[in-house]
Structure 1
Amino acid sequence: MVTIRRTSWINCVSIIIPYLFIVGIFQVFAHFLLGIPVGDAEINRTSWEKFTIVFFGAVGTFFTIWLFRIYIDRESIKSLGLDFLNMFEKECRWGMLMPVLIMSLAFFLLLFTKQIQYIQIKVSLNELILNCAIFILVAFTEELFIRGYILNNLMSSINKFLALTISSIIFAIMHLANPNINLISFTNLILAGILLGLPCIYRRNLWPSIAFHFSWNFFQGSIFGFNVSGLNGYSMITQMRKDDTIWNGGSFGFEGSILCIMLQVFCIIILYFLFEKRLKFRNP
Protein backbone atom coordinates (compact mmCIF):
# COMPACT_ATOMS: atom_id res chain seq x y z
CA MET A 1 0.00 0.00 0.00
CA VAL A 2 1.36 3.41 -1.04
CA THR A 3 1.41 6.08 1.66
CA ILE A 4 -0.04 9.39 0.46
CA ARG A 5 2.06 12.32 1.62
CA ARG A 6 -0.04 15.48 1.31
CA THR A 7 2.98 17.76 1.76
CA SER A 8 5.32 16.02 -0.71
CA TRP A 9 4.85 18.87 -3.20
CA ILE A 10 6.72 21.05 -0.70
CA ASN A 11 9.78 18.85 -1.19
CA CYS A 12 9.62 19.62 -4.93
CA VAL A 13 9.94 23.30 -4.13
CA SER A 14 12.54 22.75 -1.41
CA ILE A 15 14.91 20.81 -3.65
CA ILE A 16 15.25 23.47 -6.37
CA ILE A 17 17.75 25.83 -4.72
CA PRO A 18 19.95 23.02 -3.24
CA TYR A 19 19.82 21.28 -6.64
CA LEU A 20 20.98 24.39 -8.52
CA PHE A 21 23.68 25.11 -5.92
CA ILE A 22 25.10 21.58 -5.64
CA VAL A 23 24.99 20.82 -9.38
CA GLY A 24 26.49 24.25 -10.03
CA ILE A 25 29.40 23.51 -7.67
CA PHE A 26 30.08 20.19 -9.41
CA GLN A 27 30.01 21.82 -12.84
CA VAL A 28 32.29 24.67 -11.74
CA PHE A 29 34.74 22.00 -10.52
CA ALA A 30 34.51 20.32 -13.94
CA HIS A 31 35.34 23.62 -15.64
CA PHE A 32 38.28 24.05 -13.26
CA LEU A 33 39.65 20.58 -14.11
CA LEU A 34 39.32 21.30 -17.82
CA GLY A 35 40.74 24.79 -17.56
CA ILE A 36 37.67 26.30 -19.21
CA PRO A 37 36.07 29.59 -18.14
CA VAL A 38 32.64 28.99 -16.61
CA GLY A 39 31.04 31.40 -19.07
CA ASP A 40 32.50 29.53 -22.07
CA ALA A 41 29.93 29.15 -24.86
CA GLU A 42 28.64 25.64 -25.52
CA ILE A 43 29.57 25.91 -29.19
CA ASN A 44 33.28 26.16 -28.35
CA ARG A 45 33.48 22.96 -26.32
CA THR A 46 34.85 19.65 -27.57
CA SER A 47 32.85 16.46 -27.07
CA TRP A 48 35.25 15.40 -24.29
CA GLU A 49 34.74 18.71 -22.50
CA LYS A 50 30.96 18.38 -22.85
CA PHE A 51 31.10 14.83 -21.49
CA THR A 52 33.18 15.89 -18.47
CA ILE A 53 30.84 18.75 -17.58
CA VAL A 54 27.73 16.59 -18.07
CA PHE A 55 29.30 13.79 -15.99
CA PHE A 56 29.99 16.07 -13.02
CA GLY A 57 26.50 17.55 -13.37
CA ALA A 58 25.05 14.03 -13.28
CA VAL A 59 27.02 13.20 -10.11
CA GLY A 60 25.76 16.40 -8.49
CA THR A 61 22.18 15.61 -9.52
CA PHE A 62 22.29 12.07 -8.15
CA PHE A 63 23.88 13.26 -4.90
CA THR A 64 21.21 15.93 -4.38
CA ILE A 65 18.32 13.58 -5.11
CA TRP A 66 19.85 10.86 -2.92
CA LEU A 67 20.07 13.32 0.00
CA PHE A 68 16.46 14.44 -0.39
CA ARG A 69 15.00 11.01 -1.12
CA ILE A 70 16.71 9.31 1.83
CA TYR A 71 16.69 12.06 4.47
CA ILE A 72 13.70 14.24 3.52
CA ASP A 73 11.26 11.89 1.78
CA ARG A 74 12.40 8.91 3.90
CA GLU A 75 12.08 6.60 0.88
CA SER A 76 14.44 4.59 -1.31
CA ILE A 77 16.01 5.62 -4.59
CA LYS A 78 14.41 2.52 -6.11
CA SER A 79 10.97 4.01 -5.34
CA LEU A 80 11.65 6.72 -7.95
CA GLY A 81 11.13 4.06 -10.62
CA LEU A 82 14.70 2.79 -10.79
CA ASP A 83 14.09 -0.91 -10.25
CA PHE A 84 16.79 -2.49 -12.45
CA LEU A 85 14.58 -5.51 -13.11
CA ASN A 86 12.23 -3.18 -15.02
CA MET A 87 14.93 -2.11 -17.46
CA PHE A 88 13.95 -4.96 -19.77
CA GLU A 89 10.21 -4.31 -19.96
CA LYS A 90 8.58 -4.00 -23.37
CA GLU A 91 8.04 -0.26 -22.78
CA CYS A 92 11.82 0.24 -22.58
CA ARG A 93 12.33 -1.38 -25.97
CA TRP A 94 9.62 0.82 -27.43
CA GLY A 95 11.22 3.77 -25.71
CA MET A 96 14.37 3.15 -27.73
CA LEU A 97 12.61 2.41 -31.02
CA MET A 98 9.95 5.12 -31.18
CA PRO A 99 12.38 8.10 -31.40
CA VAL A 100 14.29 6.32 -34.18
CA LEU A 101 11.06 6.07 -36.19
CA ILE A 102 10.09 9.69 -35.42
CA MET A 103 13.49 11.12 -36.34
CA SER A 104 13.76 9.01 -39.49
CA LEU A 105 10.30 10.13 -40.62
CA ALA A 106 11.04 13.78 -39.80
CA PHE A 107 14.41 13.76 -41.56
CA PHE A 108 13.10 12.28 -44.80
CA LEU A 109 9.95 14.43 -44.80
CA LEU A 110 12.02 17.59 -44.40
CA LEU A 111 14.49 16.35 -47.01
CA PHE A 112 11.68 15.53 -49.48
CA THR A 113 10.04 18.95 -48.97
CA LYS A 114 13.44 20.68 -49.35
CA GLN A 115 13.26 22.15 -45.83
CA ILE A 116 16.74 20.71 -45.26
CA GLN A 117 19.54 19.58 -47.58
CA TYR A 118 21.78 16.54 -47.21
CA ILE A 119 25.49 17.33 -47.40
CA GLN A 120 27.52 14.26 -46.44
CA ILE A 121 28.02 11.31 -44.11
CA LYS A 122 31.15 11.38 -41.97
CA VAL A 123 31.64 8.66 -39.37
CA SER A 124 33.85 9.17 -36.33
CA LEU A 125 33.64 6.25 -33.91
CA ASN A 126 35.22 8.24 -31.05
CA GLU A 127 32.73 11.08 -31.46
CA LEU A 128 29.78 8.68 -31.67
CA ILE A 129 30.86 6.92 -28.47
CA LEU A 130 31.39 10.21 -26.62
CA ASN A 131 28.05 11.59 -27.82
CA CYS A 132 26.33 8.34 -26.83
CA ALA A 133 27.81 8.66 -23.33
CA ILE A 134 26.80 12.34 -23.13
CA PHE A 135 23.20 11.67 -24.09
CA ILE A 136 22.94 8.69 -21.72
CA LEU A 137 24.03 10.95 -18.86
CA VAL A 138 21.71 13.77 -19.95
CA ALA A 139 18.75 11.40 -20.21
CA PHE A 140 19.44 9.77 -16.85
CA THR A 141 20.03 13.11 -15.10
CA GLU A 142 17.00 14.97 -16.44
CA GLU A 143 14.64 12.01 -16.03
CA LEU A 144 15.84 11.30 -12.49
CA PHE A 145 15.22 14.91 -11.48
CA ILE A 146 12.02 15.76 -13.39
CA ARG A 147 10.14 12.49 -13.80
CA GLY A 148 11.81 10.58 -10.96
CA TYR A 149 11.78 13.14 -8.16
CA ILE A 150 9.48 16.03 -9.15
CA LEU A 151 6.71 14.04 -10.86
CA ASN A 152 6.74 11.24 -8.28
CA ASN A 153 6.43 13.67 -5.39
CA LEU A 154 3.74 15.73 -7.10
CA MET A 155 1.69 12.58 -7.77
CA SER A 156 1.69 11.88 -4.04
CA SER A 157 -0.05 15.22 -3.45
CA ILE A 158 -2.21 16.00 -6.49
CA ASN A 159 -3.96 14.43 -9.49
CA LYS A 160 -1.49 12.54 -11.70
CA PHE A 161 -2.38 14.47 -14.87
CA LEU A 162 -1.99 17.82 -13.13
CA ALA A 163 1.32 16.56 -11.73
CA LEU A 164 2.36 15.54 -15.25
CA THR A 165 1.48 18.99 -16.63
CA ILE A 166 3.35 20.87 -13.89
CA SER A 167 6.45 18.69 -14.19
CA SER A 168 6.41 19.14 -17.99
CA ILE A 169 6.30 22.92 -17.63
CA ILE A 170 9.23 22.75 -15.19
CA PHE A 171 11.09 20.59 -17.72
CA ALA A 172 10.55 23.26 -20.41
CA ILE A 173 11.59 26.07 -18.04
CA MET A 174 14.87 24.23 -17.39
CA HIS A 175 15.72 24.79 -21.07
CA LEU A 176 14.91 28.51 -21.20
CA ALA A 177 18.62 29.41 -21.26
CA ASN A 178 19.19 27.29 -24.39
CA PRO A 179 20.09 29.22 -27.58
CA ASN A 180 17.32 30.24 -30.01
CA ILE A 181 14.40 29.05 -27.87
CA ASN A 182 10.99 30.46 -28.84
CA LEU A 183 7.29 29.77 -28.30
CA ILE A 184 7.22 26.77 -30.66
CA SER A 185 10.26 25.13 -29.09
CA PHE A 186 8.97 25.86 -25.58
CA THR A 187 5.67 24.17 -26.54
CA ASN A 188 7.59 21.20 -27.91
CA LEU A 189 9.52 20.88 -24.65
CA ILE A 190 6.28 20.81 -22.66
CA LEU A 191 4.91 18.13 -25.00
CA ALA A 192 8.18 16.19 -24.63
CA GLY A 193 7.72 16.33 -20.86
CA ILE A 194 4.22 14.87 -21.21
CA LEU A 195 5.43 12.17 -23.59
CA LEU A 196 8.30 11.23 -21.29
CA GLY A 197 6.08 11.31 -18.20
CA LEU A 198 3.32 8.99 -19.41
CA PRO A 199 5.23 5.75 -18.62
CA CYS A 200 5.93 7.11 -15.14
CA ILE A 201 2.33 7.90 -14.21
CA TYR A 202 0.99 4.61 -15.55
CA ARG A 203 3.84 2.19 -14.88
CA ARG A 204 5.85 3.94 -12.11
CA ASN A 205 8.91 2.96 -14.14
CA LEU A 206 11.58 5.51 -15.06
CA TRP A 207 13.53 3.33 -17.50
CA PRO A 208 11.22 3.75 -20.55
CA SER A 209 11.51 7.53 -20.16
CA ILE A 210 15.31 7.34 -19.88
CA ALA A 211 15.45 5.08 -22.95
CA PHE A 212 13.17 7.39 -24.96
CA HIS A 213 15.04 10.55 -23.88
CA PHE A 214 18.42 9.08 -24.79
CA SER A 215 17.27 7.71 -28.14
CA TRP A 216 15.49 10.98 -29.04
CA ASN A 217 18.59 13.12 -28.36
CA PHE A 218 21.14 10.71 -29.82
CA PHE A 219 19.42 10.04 -33.13
CA GLN A 220 18.27 13.64 -33.48
CA GLY A 221 21.71 15.13 -32.87
CA SER A 222 24.40 12.50 -33.49
CA ILE A 223 22.83 10.66 -36.42
CA PHE A 224 20.47 12.97 -38.35
CA GLY A 225 22.30 16.24 -37.78
CA PHE A 226 19.68 18.39 -36.04
CA ASN A 227 20.61 20.72 -33.21
CA VAL A 228 19.40 19.28 -29.91
CA SER A 229 17.34 21.86 -28.03
CA GLY A 230 19.37 24.63 -29.68
CA LEU A 231 22.77 23.00 -29.02
CA ASN A 232 24.95 21.62 -31.78
CA GLY A 233 27.68 19.01 -31.87
CA TYR A 234 29.09 16.13 -33.90
CA SER A 235 26.69 14.32 -36.24
CA MET A 236 27.22 11.41 -38.59
CA ILE A 237 24.98 13.11 -41.19
CA THR A 238 25.70 16.70 -42.12
CA GLN A 239 22.65 18.69 -43.22
CA MET A 240 21.94 22.34 -43.83
CA ARG A 241 18.96 24.68 -44.17
CA LYS A 242 18.48 27.21 -46.93
CA ASP A 243 16.11 29.15 -44.66
CA ASP A 244 15.00 28.89 -41.04
CA THR A 245 11.30 28.01 -41.03
CA ILE A 246 8.67 26.80 -38.58
CA TRP A 247 8.85 23.43 -40.35
CA ASN A 248 12.56 22.70 -39.99
CA GLY A 249 12.90 24.37 -36.58
CA GLY A 250 15.74 26.69 -37.56
CA SER A 251 18.75 26.91 -35.25
CA PHE A 252 16.91 25.31 -32.34
CA GLY A 253 16.67 22.07 -34.31
CA PHE A 254 13.78 19.74 -35.02
CA GLU A 255 12.30 20.53 -31.59
CA GLY A 256 11.68 24.08 -32.83
CA SER A 257 9.32 22.92 -35.58
CA ILE A 258 5.59 22.60 -36.09
CA LEU A 259 6.24 19.11 -37.47
CA CYS A 260 7.66 18.10 -34.08
CA ILE A 261 4.49 19.36 -32.37
CA MET A 262 2.34 17.26 -34.70
CA LEU A 263 4.37 14.09 -34.25
CA GLN A 264 4.59 14.46 -30.47
CA VAL A 265 0.83 15.04 -30.11
CA PHE A 266 0.22 11.93 -32.22
CA CYS A 267 2.58 9.85 -30.02
CA ILE A 268 1.02 11.21 -26.80
CA ILE A 269 -2.47 10.22 -27.98
CA ILE A 270 -1.29 6.73 -28.99
CA LEU A 271 0.55 6.13 -25.71
CA TYR A 272 -2.32 7.48 -23.61
CA PHE A 273 -4.86 5.12 -25.15
CA LEU A 274 -2.47 2.16 -25.00
CA PHE A 275 -1.79 2.74 -21.30
CA GLU A 276 -5.50 3.34 -20.56
CA LYS A 277 -6.44 0.16 -22.42
CA ARG A 278 -3.90 -1.88 -20.47
CA LEU A 279 -5.11 -0.30 -17.21
CA LYS A 280 -8.75 -1.22 -17.95
CA PHE A 281 -7.69 -4.74 -18.98
CA ARG A 282 -5.92 -5.24 -15.64
CA ASN A 283 -8.72 -3.61 -13.64
CA PRO A 284 -12.00 -4.59 -15.37
Structure 2
Amino acid sequence: MKKLVSTILKTVIFFLGWVIFISFTPDILTNNQAYMRLWWEFAPFAILILFSVIFISLIEKGKIKIPVASRFFKNSIIGVLIGVLWLGSVVAVLFLTKTMNIQDQNNIDYIWLWIVASLLNVVMQELLVRGYLYQLWKQNYNVIVATVLTTILFAAMHGGAFEAGIIPVLNVVSMSVFVTLLLEYTGTIVAPIIAHFIWNTIGAIIFGGVSLASDYPHLLNSTFQGNSFISGGSFKIEGSIIVLVVNLLLITTLFILIKRPDSNNR
Protein backbone atom coordinates (compact mmCIF):
# COMPACT_ATOMS: atom_id res chain seq x y z
CA MET A 1 0.00 0.00 0.00
CA LYS A 2 2.85 2.35 0.88
CA LYS A 3 4.46 1.72 -2.52
CA LEU A 4 1.18 2.47 -4.32
CA VAL A 5 0.63 5.73 -2.42
CA SER A 6 4.23 6.79 -3.06
CA THR A 7 3.98 6.00 -6.79
CA ILE A 8 0.69 7.86 -7.16
CA LEU A 9 2.04 10.89 -5.27
CA LYS A 10 5.15 11.02 -7.45
CA THR A 11 2.97 10.77 -10.56
CA VAL A 12 0.60 13.53 -9.47
CA ILE A 13 3.36 15.87 -8.29
CA PHE A 14 5.39 15.31 -11.45
CA PHE A 15 2.47 15.91 -13.81
CA LEU A 16 0.76 18.77 -11.94
CA GLY A 17 4.08 20.45 -11.21
CA TRP A 18 4.90 20.38 -14.91
CA VAL A 19 1.48 21.81 -15.82
CA ILE A 20 1.72 24.57 -13.18
CA PHE A 21 5.18 25.63 -14.29
CA ILE A 22 3.99 25.81 -17.90
CA SER A 23 1.15 28.14 -16.88
CA PHE A 24 3.72 30.68 -15.63
CA THR A 25 5.73 30.63 -18.85
CA PRO A 26 5.62 34.07 -20.51
CA ASP A 27 5.07 34.53 -24.24
CA ILE A 28 7.86 35.91 -26.38
CA LEU A 29 7.47 39.27 -28.07
CA THR A 30 7.17 38.48 -31.76
CA ASN A 31 4.66 38.77 -34.57
CA ASN A 32 6.14 35.76 -36.33
CA GLN A 33 3.79 32.83 -35.77
CA ALA A 34 6.51 30.27 -36.52
CA TYR A 35 8.74 31.65 -33.76
CA MET A 36 5.76 31.87 -31.43
CA ARG A 37 4.85 28.22 -32.06
CA LEU A 38 8.49 27.20 -31.61
CA TRP A 39 8.49 28.89 -28.20
CA TRP A 40 5.15 27.34 -27.23
CA GLU A 41 6.61 23.90 -27.96
CA PHE A 42 10.02 24.60 -26.44
CA ALA A 43 8.78 25.82 -23.05
CA PRO A 44 6.84 22.63 -22.07
CA PHE A 45 9.69 20.52 -23.46
CA ALA A 46 12.36 22.36 -21.43
CA ILE A 47 10.29 22.27 -18.23
CA LEU A 48 9.67 18.54 -18.71
CA ILE A 49 13.40 17.92 -19.13
CA LEU A 50 14.01 19.86 -15.91
CA PHE A 51 11.38 17.89 -13.98
CA SER A 52 12.66 14.58 -15.36
CA VAL A 53 16.22 15.37 -14.28
CA ILE A 54 15.08 16.47 -10.81
CA PHE A 55 12.90 13.43 -10.20
CA ILE A 56 15.35 10.88 -11.62
CA SER A 57 18.48 12.36 -10.02
CA LEU A 58 17.23 13.68 -6.69
CA ILE A 59 14.08 11.75 -5.83
CA GLU A 60 14.86 8.39 -7.43
CA LYS A 61 18.62 8.84 -6.95
CA GLY A 62 19.33 7.33 -10.35
CA LYS A 63 17.42 4.10 -9.72
CA ILE A 64 15.10 4.90 -12.62
CA LYS A 65 16.48 5.73 -16.05
CA ILE A 66 14.95 6.80 -19.35
CA PRO A 67 16.58 4.52 -21.96
CA VAL A 68 18.18 6.57 -24.73
CA ALA A 69 21.58 5.25 -25.80
CA SER A 70 20.79 1.56 -26.34
CA ARG A 71 22.03 0.67 -29.86
CA PHE A 72 21.36 4.25 -30.88
CA PHE A 73 22.08 4.02 -34.61
CA LYS A 74 20.35 0.68 -35.18
CA ASN A 75 17.26 1.68 -33.23
CA SER A 76 17.12 5.08 -34.93
CA ILE A 77 16.95 3.26 -38.26
CA ILE A 78 14.20 1.02 -36.86
CA GLY A 79 12.31 4.15 -35.80
CA VAL A 80 12.59 5.61 -39.30
CA LEU A 81 11.49 2.38 -40.98
CA ILE A 82 8.56 1.87 -38.62
CA GLY A 83 7.47 5.50 -38.97
CA VAL A 84 7.56 5.36 -42.78
CA LEU A 85 5.78 2.00 -42.81
CA TRP A 86 3.17 3.22 -40.32
CA LEU A 87 2.16 6.43 -42.09
CA GLY A 88 3.05 5.21 -45.58
CA SER A 89 0.80 2.16 -45.45
CA VAL A 90 -2.16 4.23 -44.24
CA VAL A 91 -1.67 6.94 -46.88
CA ALA A 92 -1.14 4.31 -49.60
CA VAL A 93 -4.47 2.63 -48.81
CA LEU A 94 -6.25 5.98 -48.74
CA PHE A 95 -4.82 6.88 -52.15
CA LEU A 96 -5.58 3.45 -53.63
CA THR A 97 -9.18 3.63 -52.45
CA LYS A 98 -9.40 7.19 -53.83
CA THR A 99 -10.58 8.46 -50.46
CA MET A 100 -7.60 10.83 -50.24
CA ASN A 101 -6.57 13.22 -52.99
CA ILE A 102 -4.07 16.05 -53.24
CA GLN A 103 -5.55 19.19 -54.81
CA ASP A 104 -2.71 21.71 -54.74
CA GLN A 105 0.00 23.01 -52.47
CA ASN A 106 0.77 26.01 -50.29
CA ASN A 107 3.92 28.00 -49.68
CA ILE A 108 5.07 27.73 -46.07
CA ASP A 109 7.34 30.41 -44.65
CA TYR A 110 9.91 29.20 -42.12
CA ILE A 111 8.99 25.57 -42.78
CA TRP A 112 12.06 24.33 -40.91
CA LEU A 113 10.97 26.21 -37.79
CA TRP A 114 7.59 24.48 -37.99
CA ILE A 115 9.32 21.11 -38.38
CA VAL A 116 11.56 21.77 -35.36
CA ALA A 117 8.48 22.85 -33.39
CA SER A 118 6.80 19.58 -34.35
CA LEU A 119 9.88 17.65 -33.21
CA LEU A 120 9.88 19.40 -29.83
CA ASN A 121 6.19 18.60 -29.43
CA VAL A 122 6.79 14.91 -30.15
CA VAL A 123 9.80 14.66 -27.83
CA MET A 124 7.77 16.32 -25.10
CA GLN A 125 4.86 13.91 -25.56
CA GLU A 126 7.08 10.84 -25.59
CA LEU A 127 9.10 11.94 -22.55
CA LEU A 128 5.92 12.73 -20.65
CA VAL A 129 4.12 9.50 -21.52
CA ARG A 130 6.96 7.01 -21.98
CA GLY A 131 9.70 8.70 -19.99
CA TYR A 132 9.90 8.98 -16.20
CA LEU A 133 6.25 8.15 -15.46
CA TYR A 134 6.28 4.99 -17.59
CA GLN A 135 9.56 3.79 -16.11
CA LEU A 136 8.31 4.58 -12.59
CA TRP A 137 5.22 2.41 -12.93
CA LYS A 138 7.08 -0.29 -14.85
CA GLN A 139 9.74 -0.59 -12.16
CA ASN A 140 7.31 -0.50 -9.24
CA TYR A 141 4.73 -2.78 -10.87
CA ASN A 142 5.03 -4.11 -14.42
CA VAL A 143 4.87 -3.28 -18.12
CA ILE A 144 1.12 -3.87 -18.34
CA VAL A 145 0.26 -1.46 -15.52
CA ALA A 146 2.67 1.14 -16.91
CA THR A 147 1.21 0.76 -20.41
CA VAL A 148 -2.40 1.08 -19.24
CA LEU A 149 -1.80 4.18 -17.11
CA THR A 150 0.36 6.00 -19.64
CA THR A 151 -2.07 5.13 -22.44
CA ILE A 152 -4.83 6.78 -20.40
CA LEU A 153 -2.60 9.85 -20.05
CA PHE A 154 -1.81 9.83 -23.78
CA ALA A 155 -5.51 9.58 -24.65
CA ALA A 156 -6.30 12.45 -22.26
CA MET A 157 -3.69 14.58 -24.04
CA HIS A 158 -5.57 13.90 -27.28
CA GLY A 159 -8.98 14.68 -25.83
CA GLY A 160 -10.35 15.89 -29.15
CA ALA A 161 -10.58 12.26 -30.25
CA PHE A 162 -13.38 11.67 -27.73
CA GLU A 163 -15.51 14.26 -29.52
CA ALA A 164 -14.79 12.64 -32.87
CA GLY A 165 -16.18 9.17 -32.15
CA ILE A 166 -15.11 5.65 -31.30
CA ILE A 167 -12.70 5.10 -34.23
CA PRO A 168 -10.48 8.13 -33.44
CA VAL A 169 -10.43 7.08 -29.77
CA LEU A 170 -9.41 3.53 -30.68
CA ASN A 171 -6.78 4.95 -33.04
CA VAL A 172 -5.25 7.04 -30.23
CA VAL A 173 -5.32 4.16 -27.75
CA SER A 174 -3.86 1.62 -30.20
CA MET A 175 -1.21 4.14 -31.26
CA SER A 176 -0.08 4.54 -27.65
CA VAL A 177 0.10 0.77 -27.14
CA PHE A 178 1.98 0.30 -30.41
CA VAL A 179 4.55 3.00 -29.60
CA THR A 180 5.02 1.57 -26.10
CA LEU A 181 5.73 -1.85 -27.61
CA LEU A 182 8.23 -0.17 -29.94
CA LEU A 183 9.94 1.24 -26.84
CA GLU A 184 10.03 -2.20 -25.24
CA TYR A 185 11.28 -3.90 -28.40
CA THR A 186 14.12 -1.46 -29.11
CA GLY A 187 14.94 -0.68 -25.48
CA THR A 188 15.19 3.04 -26.22
CA ILE A 189 12.82 5.99 -26.36
CA VAL A 190 14.57 7.21 -29.51
CA ALA A 191 12.70 4.86 -31.86
CA PRO A 192 9.24 5.92 -30.58
CA ILE A 193 10.23 9.58 -30.91
CA ILE A 194 11.36 9.13 -34.52
CA ALA A 195 8.29 7.11 -35.55
CA HIS A 196 5.94 9.57 -33.83
CA PHE A 197 7.80 12.51 -35.42
CA ILE A 198 7.38 11.05 -38.91
CA TRP A 199 3.67 10.50 -38.28
CA ASN A 200 3.08 14.04 -37.00
CA THR A 201 5.37 15.99 -39.30
CA ILE A 202 4.71 14.29 -42.62
CA GLY A 203 1.09 13.55 -41.77
CA ALA A 204 0.33 17.10 -40.62
CA ILE A 205 2.83 19.59 -42.04
CA ILE A 206 3.17 17.84 -45.41
CA PHE A 207 -0.18 16.10 -46.05
CA GLY A 208 -2.41 18.14 -43.74
CA GLY A 209 -4.16 14.95 -42.64
CA VAL A 210 -3.05 14.69 -39.01
CA SER A 211 -4.14 17.09 -36.29
CA LEU A 212 -1.64 19.37 -34.60
CA ALA A 213 -2.31 22.77 -33.04
CA SER A 214 -4.55 24.86 -35.31
CA ASP A 215 -1.80 27.32 -36.30
CA TYR A 216 0.41 24.65 -37.88
CA PRO A 217 0.48 25.08 -41.68
CA HIS A 218 0.41 22.27 -44.23
CA LEU A 219 2.23 22.08 -47.54
CA LEU A 220 -0.37 20.05 -49.45
CA ASN A 221 -4.11 20.61 -49.61
CA SER A 222 -5.49 17.10 -49.25
CA THR A 223 -9.15 16.20 -49.48
CA PHE A 224 -10.76 13.20 -47.81
CA GLN A 225 -13.92 11.94 -49.45
CA GLY A 226 -16.12 8.90 -49.91
CA ASN A 227 -16.89 6.49 -47.10
CA SER A 228 -15.95 8.34 -43.89
CA PHE A 229 -15.27 4.99 -42.22
CA ILE A 230 -12.26 4.69 -44.53
CA SER A 231 -11.44 8.32 -45.31
CA GLY A 232 -11.89 9.57 -41.77
CA GLY A 233 -14.26 12.25 -43.01
CA SER A 234 -13.72 15.62 -41.34
CA PHE A 235 -11.22 14.01 -38.95
CA LYS A 236 -9.07 12.96 -41.91
CA ILE A 237 -6.35 10.34 -41.41
CA GLU A 238 -6.86 10.08 -37.66
CA GLY A 239 -10.52 9.20 -38.11
CA SER A 240 -9.91 6.33 -40.54
CA ILE A 241 -10.43 2.67 -39.70
CA ILE A 242 -7.29 2.00 -41.76
CA VAL A 243 -5.19 3.55 -39.00
CA LEU A 244 -6.69 1.16 -36.45
CA VAL A 245 -6.00 -1.85 -38.68
CA VAL A 246 -2.38 -0.80 -39.26
CA ASN A 247 -1.88 -0.08 -35.55
CA LEU A 248 -3.20 -3.52 -34.62
CA LEU A 249 -0.94 -5.19 -37.19
CA LEU A 250 2.07 -3.33 -35.80
CA ILE A 251 1.07 -4.19 -32.23
CA THR A 252 0.81 -7.87 -33.14
CA THR A 253 4.14 -7.86 -34.99
CA LEU A 254 6.03 -6.12 -32.19
CA PHE A 255 4.45 -8.36 -29.55
CA ILE A 256 5.60 -11.46 -31.44
CA LEU A 257 9.11 -10.02 -31.89
CA ILE A 258 9.36 -9.19 -28.18
CA LYS A 259 8.24 -12.69 -27.19
CA ARG A 260 10.66 -14.49 -29.50
CA PRO A 261 13.08 -16.63 -27.45
CA ASP A 262 16.02 -15.42 -29.56
CA SER A 263 15.10 -11.73 -29.34
CA ASN A 264 18.17 -9.77 -28.30
CA ASN A 265 16.40 -6.42 -28.19
CA ARG A 266 14.62 -6.84 -24.89
TM-score category, normalised to shorter length: 0.7 to 0.9
Q: Does 1:104 align with 2:104?
A: no
Among candidates 226, 247, 254, match of residue 264 of structure 1: 247
Q: CA deviation at 1:34?
A: 4.3
1:97 and 1:106, CA in 2 relative to 1: closer, same or farther beyond 3 A? same
Change (3 A) 1:231 1:248: farther
Percent pairwise identity: 20
Q: Are the equivalent residues in 2 in contact too, given 1:248–1:257 (CA < 8 A)?
A: yes
Is residue 221 of structure 1 aligned with residue 217 of structure 2? Answer: no
DSSP-derived class of the 2:104 partner: strand
User: In structure 2, which of residues 36, 45, 59 is the aligned counterpart of residue 72 of structure 1?
Assistant: 59
Structure 1 position 54 matched with structure 2 position 11: no
Which runs of 5 or more residues in structure 2 are unaligned?
Answer: none
8 Å CA contact 1:51, 1:130 repeated in 2: yes
Matches within 5 A, 1:175-254: 175-176=158-159, 181-228=164-211, 231=214, 233-242=216-225, 245-254=228-237
Give SS of 2:231's match.
Answer: coil
Aligned residue in 2 for 1:118: 102
- Counterpart residue type for residue 45 of structure 2: A
Letter in 1 for 2:12: V
For 2:197 and 2:221, the matched residues in 1 are separated by 20
Cα 1:230/1:250, change in 2 over 3 Å: farther
Task: Give the C-alpha shift of residue 232 in structure 1.
Answer: 6.6
* Aligned 8 A contact 2:48 2:124 in 1: yes
Find the aligned partners of 2:139 and 2:222 in 1 and give their Cα distance.
Answer: 45
Q: Aligned partners of 2:152 and 2:114: how far apart in 1?
A: 27
Q: Deviations over 1:53-100 (max 9, x none)?
A: 1111211221222222222222278x21133x6431x23212112222
Q: CA RMSD in A?
A: 2.8
Of 113, 117, 130 in structure 2, the residue corresponding to residue 147 of structure 1 is: 130
Which SS does the other structure have where 2:218 is aligned? coil
Q: Are residue 33 (structure 1) and residue 26 (structure 2) matched?
A: no
User: Equivalents in 2 of 1:63, 1:181: separation in Å?
Assistant: 34
Q: Across the two proteins, how many residue pairs are aligned to each other?
A: 262
C-alpha separation between the residues in 1 aligned to 2:51 and 2:211? 26
Distance 2:116 2:173 in 1: 25
Change (3 A) 1:281 1:241: closer
| Aligned residue type for 1:110 | L
Q: Is contact 2:67-2:188 (8 Å) kept?
A: yes
Amino acid of the structure 2 residue aligned with 1:11: K
Q: Take 1:274 and 1:12, find their aligned partners in 2: how far apart are those partners?
A: 30
